[in-house]
Amino acid sequence: MLKGYKDILNIFIFLGVIFFSHTTKAVEFDNLVSKLNIVNVSDTIQLQEELKHEDKIGIYVGSFDPVHNGHIEAMEQALQEKNLHFIIVLSNTPSRSKPSRTDYSIRLHMLNLAFIGNKRILVANNETDEAIKILKQHHKLVGIIGSDQVIRHLKINKPPKQYVDEWFIVTRDADREHLPMSLTTFFGKPCSYANKTYLQQQHLSSSDIRDLLSKQEPFKKGNLSLPVPKSVEDFIYNDYLYSKSKHNVYNTLYDLTKKIAYY
């Protein structure tokens, strides 16, 4: 009889441990989402359930000024080739080296428009170093990086600031002759190249898009075919973003703060 009670007690203890472990992990992820301030997903219940089973997450840091189809293609390729279920997207904060960069809140808003409701590509409103510090407590990180950045860092012999566990290099055709394709490590971290067969939009450049828009007269949707998500294109034209028009200055100073409430 006593043995039967012990068996029942052991079963309850076992179930309790499982429940506690499940609850703790869910709370940890809930805190993780809160700390990172994920802006493009409102319902985190399913998200936190899926993340519990992930030990590796992709991370993509860039200016995204604006985010374009080449960025999206790179992320989708990383999800597939590196067998990732999540990628965290972080927009660089302003720096002295790029004082003309579009305001952080505007670039964050465009990322949110591009990935709203996407439960695999998550847009974080957080400082890059802080976000990586938070993520590394729970996961191994796969950094997505363009071949132009790889070449630049190899040339100056200085690693990127992102402290990731491995790199996924997305190549541009123009960079191939300057890039050692036999590269297996990048500043001591394992690296691999994206399959170039599936890369069709890596010729795109945010600076080229900005340049085209700044020269457009009149500044009107339909005059150019922009390689960006429709929601981002609508935002650019509605707010005269990258236009030399005075109306753009007015919107930036007076209207935009009313539309974006991430702070």
Do 216 and 162 fall into the same domain?
no
Do 225 and 146 fall into the same domain?
no
The reply to whether 250 falls in a domain is yes
Mean pLDDT throughout 15-27? 43
Q: How far apart are CA 66 and CA 206, in angstroms?
A: 6
8 A C-beta contact, residue 147 and residue 169? yes
Do 138 and 189 fall into the same domain?
yes
Do 55 and 78 fall into the same domain?
yes
The 10s digit of each residue's pLDDT in 134-193 is 889 889 999 999 999 999 999 999 999 888 999 999 998 888 888 887 899 999 999 999
**pLDDT value for 174:** 84
Q: How far apart are CA 40 and CA 111, in angstroms?
A: 8
The 10s digit of each residue's pLDDT in 82-130 is 999 999 999 998 765 566 789 999 999 999 999 999 989 999 999 999 9
Residue at 227: amino acid letter:
P
Do 57 and 184 fall into the same domain?
yes
Do 156 and 69 fall into the same domain?
yes
pLDDT confidence band for 260 (50 / 70 / 90): very low
| CA distance readout (Å), 120 to 26, 59, 75, 87, 140 | 17, 12, 10, 6, 16
pLDDT confidence band for 262 (50 / 70 / 90): very low
With tokens 């036999």, the residue in question is: 182
Number of domains in the chain: 2
Do 144 and 86 fall into the same domain?
yes
**pLDDT value for 115:** 98
The reply to whether 163 falls in a domain is yes
Do 125 and 220 fall into the same domain?
no
**pLDDT value for 34:** 77
Residue 53 gets which letter from DSSP?
T
Do 61 and 158 fall into the same domain?
yes
The reply to whether 7 falls in a domain is no
Do 155 and 193 fall into the same domain?
yes
| Residue that terminates a domain, selected from 174, 198, 222 | 198
pLDDT at 242 exceeding the cut of 60: yes
| Residue that terminates a domain, selected from 178, 198, 218 | 198
Between 261 and 177, residue with greater pLDDT: 177
| Residue that terminates a domain, selected from 162, 178, 198 | 198
- Output the domain CATH number for residue 107: 3.40.50.620
Do 235 and 113 fall into the same domain?
no
- Whole domain around residue 246: which residue ranges? 206-259
Do 57 and 140 fall into the same domain?
yes
pLDDT at 238 exceeding the cut of 70: yes
The reply to whether 238 falls in a domain is yes
